Amino acid sequence: MEIRVNPTRMELNRLKGRLKMAQRGHKLLKDKRDELMRKFLELIRENKTLRGKVESELSRAFANFLLARAVMSTEVLEEAVMYPLAKLELEVTELNMMSVRVPKFRASLQDEQSGSVYSYGFAATSGELDTSIATLAAVLPSLLRLAELEKAVFLLAEEIDKTRRRVNALEHVMIPQMQKTVKYISMKLDENERGALTRLMKIKDIVRGESA
Amino acid sequence: MSMYKVAVIGDKDSILGFKALGAVTYPVTSVEEAARTLNGIVRERYAVVCITEAVAEKIGPQLEELNKKKLPAVVLIPNNQGTLGLGMLQIKKNAERAIGADILFGKEGR
C-alpha cells in the first residue's frame, strides 16, 4: 500500500526528510499525551471528591431551605431573598494548561463591610432560612471551583482524545507508509543500477566480440 | 478585567436560595422554557451556569453543545429532591473518553 511516487533519488531524499520529521513529531506528541494524562488524572480525582462534597452540602442546604419554606409563607420568603446585598460577579482569568486554555474564576462575594450574606432582617424570617443560606454561601467557593474543574476536565479530555488520535495516526499509518515507500524507492533504484550494470557488461561483451 | 455573572437554572424551590447570594436565578418549569432560557444565557456574559440535574436531563444535547465552548462552564447541581447522579456520570464519561477505561468508579463493582 505504498504511495504512488516516482522512484527517483530526489523523491527518496524528500521522503526521508518527511519520515524523520514524522518520527520526531510522533515522539513529541507522545510526550504531550503522557503529560496531559498525568494532569488529567490529578484533576479528575479532585473533581470526583469535590463533587461528592458539593452535592452533599447542597443537599443539606436544600433540606434547610425546605424547612424554611414550611414555616414561612411563600411571599415572605420571596421577599426576603428578592434583593441580594451584592451581585455575584466573577472575575475570569485564563490558565494555560499544556496549551489547553482553561478558565479560572474568582468571586467577589458579599458586602465587604458587613461581611454578611443575609439580605433581610431577622424579624420576619425563620432561623432555618439563615442556616440554609449560610450553608449555600459556604458551599459557593467549592461550587465555583467545581465549575472550573469540570470545565478543565472536559477540555483536557477532548485534547487527550485529539492528541491520541494524532499519535496513533502517525504511529500506525503515516510512519509505516513512509517507511514502505522509502524501501520501495531504494529497491527500485538498486534494481535500476543492477540493470544498468548488466547492460554495460553485455555491451562490453558484444564490443569485444566484434573487435576480436 | 471584565466581570461575569453566575446563572442558576432549575425548579423554583431548589434555586431560590441562590438568589440570596446574588446569583441570577431562572426558575423554569417546562422543557421549552429551559431551552429558551439557556439560549438567552449563552448570549449574555455568564461564566458559570448551574443547572439542576432534573432540568439538565431533559436538555442534554443542548448542554453538550455548550460544554464544547470555553465559557460558560456548566455545573450540574442536585435539586431539593436529591441527586440523580448525572454529575458523577459526566465525570465518568470524561474519564472514559480520555483514558479509554473507567478508572474512578470501577472498583466499586458496577
Nine-digit cell at A90?
A: 466573577
Query: In the predicted model, what is the mean pLDDT of residues A179-191?
Result: 92
CB contact under 8 A, A118 and B20: yes
**In this structure, is residue A102 part of a structural domain?**
yes
Q: For position A19, what pLDDT does the model report?
A: 94
Nine-digit cell at A74?
A: 411563600
Looking at the structure of chain A, the number of domains it has is 1
Q: How close is the nearest chain B Cα to the Cα of A185, in Å?
A: 39
Residues sharing a CB contact under 8 Å with residue A68, sequence separation 6 or more, in sequence order:
A77, A125, A126, A128, A129, A132
Quickly state the pLDDT bin for B108 (edges 50, 70, 90): very low
Cβ–Cβ under 8 Å, residues A170 and A25 = yes
Query: In the predicted model, what is the mean pLDDT of residues A182-200?
Result: 94
**In this structure, is residue A36 part of a structural domain?**
yes
Query: In the predicted model, what is the mean pLDDT of residues A59-66?
Result: 80
Query: In the predicted model, what is the mean pLDDT of residues A192-209?
Result: 94
Q: For position B86, what pLDDT does the model report?
A: 75
Q: Say yes or no to pLDDT of B102 above 80.
A: no
**In this structure, is residue A212 part of a structural domain?**
no
Residue B7 carries which DSSP code?
E
- H and E: helices and strands count for chain A: 4, 2
Residues of chain B in contact with residue A66, where contact means CB-CB under 8 angstroms, are 13, 80
Range of the domain at A133: 9-201
Taking residue B3's Cβ as centre, other Cβ atoms within 10 Å add up to: 13
Query: What does the buried/exposed string (b/e) look like for A65-80 if buried means 16 or more CB atoms within 10 Å of the residue's CB?
Result: bebbbeebeeeebeeb
Residues of chain B in contact with residue A158, where contact means CB-CB under 8 angstroms, are 68, 97
Report the CATH number that the domain containing residue A42 is assigned in CATH: 1.10.287.3240
From the list B17, B21, B71, the residue facing A88 with the nearest CB is B21
Closest Cα in chain B to A120:
B20
**In this structure, is residue A156 part of a structural domain?**
yes
Q: For position A187, what pLDDT does the model report?
A: 93
Nine-digit cell at A147?
A: 465549575
Q: How close is the nearest chain B Cα to the Cα of A24, in Å?
A: 23
Arithmetic mean of pLDDT over chain A: 82
Whether omega for the bond prior to residue B27 falls within 30 degrees of 0, making it cis, is: no
- Pick from B2, B1, B3, B4: which is nearest to B72 by CA? B4
Q: For position A2, what pLDDT does the model report?
A: 53
User: Was domain B5-81 assigned CATH 3.90.79.10?
Assistant: no
Q: Say yes or no to pLDDT of A60 above 60.
A: yes
Q: For position B110, what pLDDT does the model report?
A: 39
**In this structure, is residue A91 part of a structural domain?**
yes
Residues of chain A in contact with residue B79, where contact means CB-CB under 8 angstroms, are 62
Beta strands in A129-180 (DSSP E): none
Q: For position B98, what pLDDT does the model report?
A: 77
Quote ipTM for the complex: 0.80
Cβ–Cβ under 8 Å, residues B44 and B5 = yes
**In this structure, is residue A3 part of a structural domain?**
no
- B32 in contact with chain A, both atoms CB, cutoff 8 A: no
**In this structure, is residue A207 part of a structural domain?**
no
Distances (CA, A) of B64 to A86, B22, B46, B73: 31, 27, 17, 11
Q: For position A112, what pLDDT does the model report?
A: 46
Q: For position B73, what pLDDT does the model report?
A: 82
Rounded to two decimals, the pTM is: 0.79
CB contact under 8 A, A44 and B47: no
Q: For position B26, what pLDDT does the model report?
A: 81
What is the C-alpha to C-alpha distance for residues A113 and B81, in angstroms, rounded to an integer? Answer: 36
CB contact under 8 A, B87 and A51: yes
- B22 in contact with chain A, both atoms CB, cutoff 8 A: yes
Arithmetic mean of pLDDT over chain B: 76
Domain boundaries, chain B: 5-81
Residues of chain B in contact with residue A106, where contact means CB-CB under 8 angstroms, are none
Q: How close is the nearest chain B Cα to the Cα of A19, in Å?
A: 28
Residues of chain A in contact with residue B90, where contact means CB-CB under 8 angstroms, are 150
Query: In the predicted model, what is the mean pLDDT of residues B11-35?
Result: 78
Query: In the predicted model, what is the mean pLDDT of residues B97-104?
Result: 70
Closest Cα in chain B to A160:
B98
Distances (CA, A) of A42 to A54, B11, B68, B72: 18, 34, 21, 23
Q: For position A25, what pLDDT does the model report?
A: 94
CB contact under 8 A, B90 and A150: yes
The residues facing A104 across adjacent strands are: A93
Residues of chain A in contact with residue B78, where contact means CB-CB under 8 angstroms, are 55, 58-59, 62
Q: Say yes or no to pLDDT of B74 above 50.
A: yes
**In this structure, is residue A2 part of a structural domain?**
no
Higher pLDDT, A169 or A120: A169
The residues facing A105 across adjacent strands are: A92
Nine-digit cell at A52?
A: 461528592
Region of poorest pLDDT, from A76-85, A107-116, A135-144: A107-116
Backbone φ and ψ of B47, nearest 5°: -100, -40
